[in-house]
Structure 1
Amino acid sequence: MAEQEFVESGKKDGGGGFKTITRQESLELQGYKHACHVLLHAPDPDSKLFGRIPLRHAVLMMMRFDGRLGFPGGFVDPEDVTLEDGLTRELSEEVGWSEDLSPITEEDHLSCQVRDHPQRMVTHFYAKQLTLKELTGIEVAATHAKEHGLEVMGMVRVPLFTMRDGAGGLPAFLGNRFIGNSRSQLLYGLRVLKLVREDKLWEAARASQEVR
């Protein structure tokens, strides 16, 4: 149910068997793989769709090789010194992350979830605010990144508005297929970052069930 997913995202159970734990608890686990992904966003106060629908913010996700939507990032390798090192390496491969950008740090960590089945895995979710110019630069750089056309089919911006029909925009976007817990991560990120008003986010999550 969309309502349960919206309420639980970032709490006890984020969907798909994931349970929320602290970052420190995750680092004390043994025998678990760690994956780090990031919501990249930027203020966009001046842009309007069709000259009348305020966009307000730009949020990036990507189309994966398997046809599902997800966030940039991936598994942390044993040689990565920190979680953030692993995330930065993955971003370099997937979106051409530049060293000129402000580094992703522990302060950008939003949530951490763990599951035991079908594999023992911890997912770390980050959010990084950029300028609109920096975000646009990433969209361009991503077309020349190592994994472009392989693991990554392309970057997409999340429509944060709902059209007058109540289905177009964010509800339709949420009706797509997402990998793992990335849909609940998106809902959680949009809520805690206040990129979408909570009542509008609730309505979009509920309406998405009708457009799937």
Structure 2
Amino acid sequence: MLYAANPRQLFGRIPMRFSVLMQMRLDRLLGFPGRFRSLEDGLNRVLGLGLGCLRLTEADYLSSHLTEGPQRVVAHLYERQLTLEQLHAAVEISALHSGDHGLEVLGLLRVPLYTQKDRMGGFPNFLSNAFVSTAKCQLLFALKVLNMMPEEKLAEALAAATEKQKKALEKLQPASS
């Protein structure tokens, strides 16, 4: 997980706090950059970086999560805080030149770490997307342990996203007669 402190405000009034990068995959699932290779090789391939100054090490290790289901995989999460300039220039711009861009990876996106007045816009809406494997769990875990978002705000956003998904499923159910 690559992220940077972001002092800017959305619409001149909503604090951004941090910019956290995730990627949209070709299968329309959100996840963190990486592969089933070494972490560095995976990030280099996905982001199109010659990691140089952004090289991740054991010191950047945050956690591991085991996936459930037919293919059991251990997903390792590494984190690195960058400056906002590094995040944009060294990562977001470089990703456009990655060999996977437009093929396996549709692009990078910044996680909206705010909730709008309607209590749904922003982060809660983002959480109602589909995530690959353990990416949603890893995101929530990292935001909590890195003190990027208060635990009660994470719980509120997750509850709102779950409610939105529940309502969407109810709309798909045929009306009983």
Letter of the structure 2 residue corresponding to residue 158 of structure 1:
V
Partner of 2:53, secondary structure, is coil
Q: Which residue of 2 aligns with 1:119?
A: 71
**Superposition RMSD in Å:** 1.3
- Partner residue, 1:148: 101
Aligned to 2:126: 173
Separation in structure 2 between the aligned mates of residue 187 and residue 156 of structure 1, nearest angstrom: 16
TM-score (norm 2): 0.88
- Look up the match of 1:12: none
**1 or 2, which has the higher helix percentage?**
2
Unaligned runs of 5+ in 2: 166-177
Q: 1:106-154 CA distances to partner (integer Å, 9 max, x unpaired)?
A: 1111111235741242211111111111100211111111100011001
Unaligned runs of 5+ in 1: 1-38, 77-85
Residues 116, 174 of structure 1: alpha-carbon distance in 2 compared, 3 angstrom cutoff: closer
- In structure 1, C-alpha distance between the alignment counterparts of 2:68 and 2:125, rounded to whole Å: 31
Q: Which amino acid aligns with 1:188?
A: F
Q: Deviations over 1:69-121 (max 9, x none)?
A: 00000102xxxxxxxxx111111111122333232011111111235741242
- The 2-side partners of 1:48 and 1:142 are apart by 25
Give the Cα–Cα distance (whole angstroms) in 2 for the partners of residues 151 and 184 of structure 1.
Answer: 22
Give 2:139's aligned amino acid: L
Q: Which structure 1 residue ranges, 4+ long, deviate > 4 Å from structure 2? A: none
Query: What letter corresponds to residue 70 of structure 1 in structure 2?
Result: G
Partner of 2:6: 44
Question: Quick one: distance in 2 between partners of 1:110 and 1:92?
Answer: 19
Aligned residues: 164
The equivalent position to 1:66 in structure 2, one of 27, 32, 35, is: 27
**Identical-residue share of aligned pairs (%):** 46
Contact 2:67-2:134 at 8 Å conserved across structures = no
**Which has more strand, going by share of residues?**
1
Q: Give the letter aligned to residue 26 of structure 2.
A: F
Q: What is aligned with 1:184? A: 137
- Alpha carbons of 1:211 and 1:139: their partners in 2 closer, same or farther (altered >3 Å)? same
